[in-house]
Amino acid sequence: MFGEYLLYQVYSFFLAKIMSNSTFIPGQPVTAVVQRIEICKLRHGDNLILGFSIGGGIDQDPGQNPFSKDKTDKGIYVTRITPGGPAEVAGLMMGDKIMQVNGWDMTVVTHDKARKRLTKKNEDVVRLLVTRKSLEEAVKHSMRAPNNQ
């Protein structure tokens, strides 16, 4: 039913609880519903363009993160999408939390490390695992038992 979505086990001391009814225990896995997104970078001269900006990281103030409900999440978030750019075409959305880039865990990284992983010159394609509130809600809704059955 959710063919393009999967569950992702995250091992992170810094990751805030992802689903509202889950319990977060530091050092223990957290399960998140994620979507795979593949972005083909746009070549513009010597530059490869993704078409989005990020915010967050373990070295940043989580209180400044507009996408963190409790203002403790130090994850990497999409803060801007270029209209018509590669990221928008691929389905990335503002507010998406980036969990993985090309197989690299992004849940406990600095902002600079995240930027470097995304902008490697020798990679024309970026494969992301992202989570967003609407994915979690869709899965929760599908798991509810129908009334009167």
Residue-by-residue DSSP string for the chain: --TTEEEEEEE-SSPPPSSTTS---TTSEEEEEEEEEEEEPEEETTEEE--EEEEE-TTS-GGG-TT-SSS----EEEEEE-TTSHHHHHT--TTPEEEEETTEE-TT--HHHHHHHHT-TT-SEEEEEEE-HHHHHHHHHHHSPPTT-
Of the listed ranges 21-25, 45-49, 85-89, 98-102, the least confidently predicted one is: 21-25
The model's pLDDT over 89-128, given as tens digits with 9 standing for 90+, comes to: 999 999 999 999 999 999 889 999 999 999 998 899 999 9
Q: Provide the whole-model pTM.
A: 0.74
Please determine, for residue 26, whether its predicted confidence score (pLDDT) is greater than 70: no
Give percent above pLDDT 90 in the chain. 48
| pLDDT at site 140 | 59
